[in-house]
Amino acid sequence: MKLAILFGGASYEHEISIVSAITVKEKLSRYELSFIFCDQDHKFYLIDGTKMKAVTFSRGEHRKMPQIFLANGGFEQRGLFGSKKHDMPILNLIHGGDGEDGSIASLLDFFHIPFIGPRKEASMLSFDKHYTKWLANSLGIKTLPYEILHKEDKRAVKTAYPFIIKPARLGSSIGVSIVREERELDYALDVAFEFDSVVLIEPFIAGVKEYNLAGFSARGEMNYSIVEEPQKAEFLDFEKKYLDFSRSGNVAEASVSDTLVQQLRDAFKTIYLPLFEGALIRCDFFEIEGEVYLNEINPIPGSMANYLFDDFGDAIQKLLGSLPDKKMIRVKYDYIHSISQAKGK
């Protein structure tokens, strides 16, 4: 089965995307894989599978490989004596901006290229943490209270200490800080505003129970991963998440009640359907006093959360067999023709 992994992109999570692609390559060895790298200048390169190593990109060796271009139905490799079409389905593995903000989804839809990943509406609502709060609240899913601060705003925070500051449109814990007292506030905001002009501020709850659940819908049936209880100190910082994204071995299932598993699955399904169809996502939840709260939606989880599934290859195969169809509109110019005929032209 043919499949192309699209990775890279122009975002702060560019390197994480490379790590994810290398990891997923190992997990999908049963597939006939191609690798499409999007560099920071938005040029696409067809990468030799034997060269799928981090240094290939850090040293710029990808520039020696064939450049390819978006075309209707796939990518096109152009040469002096014609062109070659690469028209296999795409697995969108670009993290952060480009991959998760709806840009790539819009391009792939525009060129009628089938792909695994969030569609543009799902991307926009999950990429911005503020919009994610709106989405969850509209669906009756609990979230922590929050406030939004813009870069040009006065630095007056109403949330009681301690609280956590997050760039609103960034993942992988980049720019995230825990602020315990007032003297730490300005530095934490300076760090967050280096990456985004909008930050989200939430209460920090020490020792809160956190659970991760991944899944997808295929042929009308929800498919869930195991529930993971991530082992961490206070939160996963960038370096820990960077290593986390390279995971390929299965993790232990959380020791939780059947009741909690069902609560997590119910919340996940409510968030997933129908907005995220065509994507494998991961939701991170809190459990507070027996109730489930949504922390974040990961529309393109690191390494696609392969470590949460018994058979990741089978999960991808199911998804490929159940991708949403985009309606093709055929323009016939009937209206213009009728007007022309009426005017005798």
Q: What is the pLDDT of residues 51-86, one digit of tens each?
A: 999 999 999 999 999 999 999 999 999 988 889 999
- In this predicted model, which residue has the larger pLDDT, 306 or 170? 306
- Single residue among 203, 238, 272 that ends a domain in this structure: 203
**Entry pTM:** 0.91
Kindly state whether residue 340 falls inside one of the protein's structural domains: no
Query: What pLDDT does residue 250 have?
Result: 73
Lowest mean per-residue pLDDT among 9-13, 198-202, 259-263:
9-13
Query: What pLDDT does residue 240 have?
Result: 52
Domain that holds residue 57: 2-117
Shared domain for 134 and 160, answered yes or no, is no
- Cα(324)–Cα(141) distance, rounded to whole angstroms? 25
CA dihedral (302, 322, 328, 115) in degrees, to 10, reads 20
Shared domain for 221 and 284, answered yes or no, is yes
DSSP letter, residue 142: B
Kindly state whether residue 338 falls inside one of the protein's structural domains: no
Q: Model confidence over 77-123: pLDDT tens digits?
A: 998 888 999 999 999 999 988 999 999 999 999 999 999 999 999 99
Shared domain for 173 and 69, answered yes or no, is no
Kindly state whether residue 62 falls inside one of the protein's structural domains: yes
Which H or E element spans position 88?
none
| C-alpha distance across the termini of the chain, in Å | 53
CA dihedral (223, 225, 227, 228) in degrees, to 10, reads -150
Kindly state whether residue 263 falls inside one of the protein's structural domains: yes
Helix%, strand%, coil% for the chain, nearest 5 = 30, 25, 40
Q: Model confidence over 210-268: pLDDT tens digits?
A: 999 999 999 999 999 999 998 765 554 545 554 555 566 678 899 999 999 999 999 99
Shared domain for 194 and 245, answered yes or no, is no
Q: Model confidence over 281-326: pLDDT tens digits?
A: 999 999 999 999 999 999 999 999 999 999 999 999 999 999 998 7
Query: What pLDDT does residue 343 have?
Result: 72
Shared domain for 310 and 183, answered yes or no, is no
